[in-house]
Amino acid sequence: MRLNGKVSELASRTSEARLQAIRSNQPVGVELTDCNGELLSLGFYPDGTATGVEICLAEGARQENLILSPLTGQVSMGKGNE
């Protein structure tokens, strides 16, 4: 999968998890593997918050660093390396 596709998939997964946590009034977890091969566990909570974390995704030599906001539970772009 291309890097842009990985970023889009992550944004979609985290958005769905956040909405599910709010709707169900229960915490929801998402697991993913970052560009270093480490397993990350992301937590989303009923009040719309999340575990704040930096996420690195890579495809070949390209890399994108994303930030999961602990206050909003939304993913934003960090510094990327070409």
For residue range 23-48, what is the model confidence (pLDDT) as tens digits? 999 999 999 998 888 999 999 999 99
pLDDT band at 79 (very low <50, low <70, confident <90, very high): low
- Checking if the pLDDT of 81 tops 60, the result is no
Q: Report which DSSP code applies to 76.
A: E
Contact 64, 57 (CB under 8 A): yes
DSSP string, 1-57: --HHHHHHHHHHHHHHHHHHHHHHTS-EEEEEE-TTS-EEEEEE-TTS-B--EEEEE
- Checking if the pLDDT of 5 tops 60, the result is yes
Cα–Cα distance between 73 and 58 in angstroms, integer? 22
